[in-house]
Structures are given as C-alpha cells and as structure tokens.
C-alpha cells in the first residue's frame, strides 16, 4: 500500500512539475510569435477547457462515489443517478463543442481580415 501511495505521489508531483515547466517555457515562445490578442484568446480557451474538465471530472467522481454508496440494493436509484450523469456529460460535451466553434469562427474572421497571419512573416528564433 505504501509503495502505491509513494508511486502515485511521485507521478502526481512529476506531472505538476512538468506542467509548471511547460507554462514557464511556453509563455515567452508564444509571446514571441503571437500578438497579445491571440495569446489572450489562447489563455482564455485553456482556462475554459480546464474549468469544464475539472467540473466534468469532479461530477463523475461524485457519481461514482454515490453509485458505490447506493450499491446494488437500489438499482432504480443507481439508474437515475447514471441517467443524470449522461445528461451532464452531454451538456458538457455540447459546451466544449460550442466553445470550439466560437474559437474557430473568431480565427476564420481574423484570417479573413488579414490579422491572423501577418505576424508570421518576420519571426526570428525564440529567445532572441
């Protein structure tokens, strides 16, 4: 049990450290090639994705815990619980799809206005 706990803690810590390192390295690189508006949009999309994912994972953890507590003694309640989880999952997926469509439309509009690609012409190497 202790080895599983240590292994899980080590994997979680490594994942956290890599996420922080990625964020620290990625910001200067992206700011070098993207205008501020594009970077702000990217940060907003990443934040929205993280929020939706956190809510979705948390809800499903709650549903799993509730189903375990109800057990097999009350199959009708478990079925109702899983039905609500399906509705929530469909709503979450729809929200993510709508966000993707909105970001795509904004990107196409910027490309049509000539703003999306103008910053790619004279870009030097990162950290120069």
Tens digits of residue pLDDT in 97-113 = 888 888 778 766 666 55
Let me know: does 93 contact 53? Beta carbons within 8 Å. Answer: no
Identify the residue whose tokens are 């000539």: 114
**Is the pLDDT at 116 greater than 70, yes or no?**
no
Let me know: does 112 contact 101? Beta carbons within 8 Å. Answer: no
The pTM (predicted TM-score) of the whole model is 0.56
At residue 125, the pLDDT reads 53
Q: What is the pLDDT of residues 21-70, one digit of tens each?
A: 988 888 888 888 888 877 887 888 888 888 888 888 888 888 888 888 88
């Amino acid at each position: 049990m202790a080895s599983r706990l240590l292994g899980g803690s080590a994997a979680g810590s490594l994942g956290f450290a890599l996420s922080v390192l990625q964020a620290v390295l990625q910001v200067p690189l992206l700011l070098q090639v993207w205008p501020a508006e594009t970077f702000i949009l990217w940060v907003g999309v990443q934040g929205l994705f993280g929020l939706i994912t956190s809510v979705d994972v948390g809800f499903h953890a709650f549903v799993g815990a509730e189903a375990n507590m109800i057990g097999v003694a009350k199959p009708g309640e478990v079925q109702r619980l899983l039905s609500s989880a399906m509705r929530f999952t469909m709503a979450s997926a729809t929200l993510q799809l709508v966000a993707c469509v909105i970001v795509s439309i904004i990107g196409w509009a910027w490309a049509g206005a000539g703003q999306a690609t103008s910053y790619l012409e004279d870009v030097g190497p990162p950290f120069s």
